[in-house]
A and B are shown apart, each in its own frame.
Chain A
């Protein structure tokens, strides 16, 4: 226990709420793609009101075509972390004192797995990609770690997965291309920082919430958010506003219970709240809580013999070990995921390579986030050309205007999605998309979309109630 225990609580609150609120993704087109793809934007698969065409019969995976200049070697000097043999990067990850309940250190595993993949296929520009320094954030020490990384000046780029991100300005101002697990507002408004998802609209109206209810036959909502955290409250309020906004279209759905006063840790339990929900006939529960909070509510539902009559929507529970250990508590619940879940196979070379190169690892959400970040870094290098430096790498990345990590994420337009969309609607996704999985017997099963098209998307510009479309963002 450090003298930081209280920060632990606060951090977990902030993180879970941010994860919870990183709601939509949207987009219709794809680019980027597998390591073999070129960095140039791929032809767009323009979405329209028509459902996307059914995927054709599963083609044999083709050997990816490499960009012509991938193996061009050009001597470079004066670029931090780059010599004739290696391109070195640094990671800053919350390894010790992690209070989130998920293994954030798996982020490093994802990066290294991707680098192994690239290096085994010849590296890039005659060099190998190396995760040379693994700095431990130790919970909130990422500011001095960032400063030390900048001063040591021996890495081309930084990879960041931390509970909070105080070092953002340090890295950004130093011009360090920075890739990271975007659960922070600090990923917005900083040109040199790139997340696995774009800065997202926190607390915005979203058809997702009432839509889910219509799909599971629910009409009375209960909503929880932590009272200690503004993030969690904003997230809960956004859910409530969404349901009330589309109440009529969602069959007269109502918010019967709304509580953003519960304390993190739930030392006082949630028995009265569950009793009230039961009295009011709540049949679907939305939360902006962490794993602990979800488990506590589920336990109380079981205790009050109410579990079978209500479905819970989880924002942060995509954790296989946790769900397996609590299978009885979460049966039939829905879980939100920011990327194509491991359970949904798509025709993505990047996904296939991910499974291939992480076969020996225990897969966590952070594993694939590290993998996706590393992939974006590699693609940026390809686009920057063999005489790259930090600035040209960032310029190249900011030129990616339709980038979906080969279909694994909602496409991002890095040229304009820099600010938080709350203040800048122009910086929002084109489509608001989700992936969701259902918990069945302690495991996950894909719930949204259809085979080959796991994404369920709504057009952001359309405020009217409309049915979502199933998408695949694979090239």
Chain B
């Protein structure tokens, strides 16, 4: 009798949790379907989705709440007009021109847009101080409650979202399966030129696809606001991120191409979430984490790594698809001796002048800024190793940097051991973590590797940092001293800057040695074709593990130094995953293939907003996100980076000037491949 009562209770709880999970799942499904729609119609894994959703939601709020527009007209403007218009602009101005680029290049561009679009929107409409208390949805009286089967409560907002999601899924499925338009959209994605041969205007089909997907992003934005807590009080792009990440898991279930799978995955995720929260005990630390912050990241990571469909997709991809031409030779390798000497003299003069000014005249503020730029140069060299040499995108370098910072802090605080030792230990830990992480994800490549590493970064951020053995104790702060090392006291700003410069030089040399070593050559071979590389004896897994570990260790060293410079671990300011996205953007924009590129990115990251934007132009610091975010568009055309590209251009100009006087020498230079390198470098579709 007791058992049957218990079973009935469990059954009742299960049914209740099922109905509670459906509305949540509908939100996930809507976002997941939007992801799939974009990917299916454009081939772009659009991480800027959250930015598009934010713009529509914020527009709706601005019009309806602040300017008292009726709901229907605000929706019309925000979702039916603004969202498709944004999609049209993105397609016409950006994605049309990168159609033939790799998925990774498109991913980088979408990262840039993720960074730039909301900032631009906020700067234009002065959005910062909005407080949408009450978070009005698009459904009149949306909080009205109904009871399914007389028992299970559901609001009008939730019913509307569910109905819209299911209707959208059916309509889109019908569009792609049964209509000529759907067929044309799919055809244009695969081959616009072939489609145009059949009399289809590929341009307009492509534009229409983007408008459609952007419409769904906007629709998701306004529908999610009333049902998502984090969007309620402060309508900021951040609020979309948790739900976007959760939805990624649902989209991944359908390999980013199946709308029904995305719908099913979203609903399933919602139901699984509520079932776990209903039935799993909360008094166990691990189980409690799995009910809360960890769940979406664990699911996302697990799906990417273990979901057979994704593994089949990766393994079954056209092997020729991954065969990229070798990246063009660096400009520095093809310039003449005279140019090399001239460049080095100029560089020496520049750094000498900066050094003299820094140590003789600069105040503490500028010494601190310069130290920051040196440290970020070190961190960015980890991206040079992973992306520039390895040809892959990882979105967790920021996490490795944080591990280095926390390592320095923990050793100094807990055991009173030198922070230098702590930093090295942190680097070793980061390298070990990188090695372990590389094992399940090494075969993924491309966007799946990027998403898997993002999931890891978010897991660290939301789950691990709060533990005292990682992020330190709440009660003892995150203070980090500066070191004494080899009998030298580095507590003064000047001495610490010298230490950082010395470490930058060491790390830079290390990166060059790796690039020129057998590992570097193996990486170059692997980025062309893994199969071909293995056929000539390259052990791919070893190279992948090495590149993961080394880049992680470099990032951790930089993170440790940053903590020492600031004398605390400013985790929230320096090491959150979204900061890491911007790191990647700025490095690949400026040049991920060279040590020089990493250093220039470090300088640009720190000095540019302070000196150029603030002091010279008087602009808000947010403009740096807009400028570098949109500059990411250049990645598809100049994967070698803007600075490397500019260097080649100037080199050619110099050569041409020189050739007017010495044609023979110019001819020899041309024969050495300078121009060939330029052409190749400018070719779209070349991965970093």
Contact = CB atoms under 8 A, between A and B. Distances in A.
A290 B625 CA distance: 28
Interface in B231-252: 232-234, 236-239, 241-243, 246
B313 interface: no
Contacts of A427: none
B131 A321 contact: yes
Contact of B229 (A228, A266, A420): A266
A121 to B, nearest CB: 32
Contact of B477 (A1, A96, A103, A186): A186
Contacts of B246: 267-268
B133 A325 contact: yes
Interface in B443-485: 458, 461-463, 466-468, 471, 474-475, 477, 479
A96 B576 contact: no
Contacts of A423: 475
Nearest to B55: A1
B118 interface: yes
B425 interface: no
Contacts of A326: 133-134
A214 interface: no
Interface string A294-311: 011001001111000000
A101 to B, nearest CB: 4
Contact of B236 (A1, A231, A264, A303): A1
B455 to A, nearest CB: 13
Contacts of B234: 12, 98-101, 292
B278 A151 contact: no
A5 B282 contact: no
Nearest to B115: A3
Contacts of A14: 572
B177 interface: no
A230 B464 CA distance: 10
Nearest to A145: B365
Nearest to B122: A1
Contact of B567 (A169, A263, A268, A321): A169
B140 interface: no
Interface residues of A, number: 82
A293 B229 CA distance: 6
Nearest to A264: B230
A19 interface: no
Contacts of A169: 479, 567-568
Nearest to A319: B133
Contacts, number: 248
Most chain B beta carbons < 10 A, residue from A11, A151, A258: A151
Contact of A302 (B145, B227, B288, B582): B145
A12 B242 CA distance: 14
Interface in A181-219: 185-186, 202
A105 B129 CA distance: 9
Interface stretch (A83-91, A122-130, A135-143, A342-350): A135-143
Contacts of A259: 282
Contacts of A11: 572
Nearest to B622: A2
Interface in B195-243: 227-230, 232-234, 236-239, 241-243
B288 A95 contact: no
Given A151-B363, A267-B243, A7 B114 contact: no
Contact of A265 (B239, B270, B288): B239
Contacts of B462: 228, 263-264
B268 interface: no
Interface of B: 13, 16-17, 20, 23-24, 27, 50-51, 54, 114-115, 117-119, 121-122, 128-129, 131, 133-135, 143, 145, 153-155, 227-230, 232-234, 236-239, 241-243, 246, 270, 273-274, 277-278, 282, 288-289, 291-293, 295-296, 363-365, 368-369, 458, 461-463, 466-468, 471, 474-475, 477, 479, 566-568, 570-573, 576-579, 581-582, 585, 610, 620-622, 625
Given A144-B368, A272-B17, A293-B229, 13 more contacts: A3-B579, A96-B622, A140-B572, A147-B364, A147-B368, A166-B568, A185-B475, A231-B474, A265-B229, A266-B229, A290-B233, A303-B154, A305-B145
22 contacts: A4-B579, A5-B238, A7-B573, A9-B238, A10-B461, A11-B572, A98-B128, A101-B133, A144-B365, A144-B369, A164-B570, A164-B572, A227-B289, A228-B292, A265-B242, A266-B230, A268-B246, A268-B270, A272-B278, A276-B278, A322-B131, A325-B133
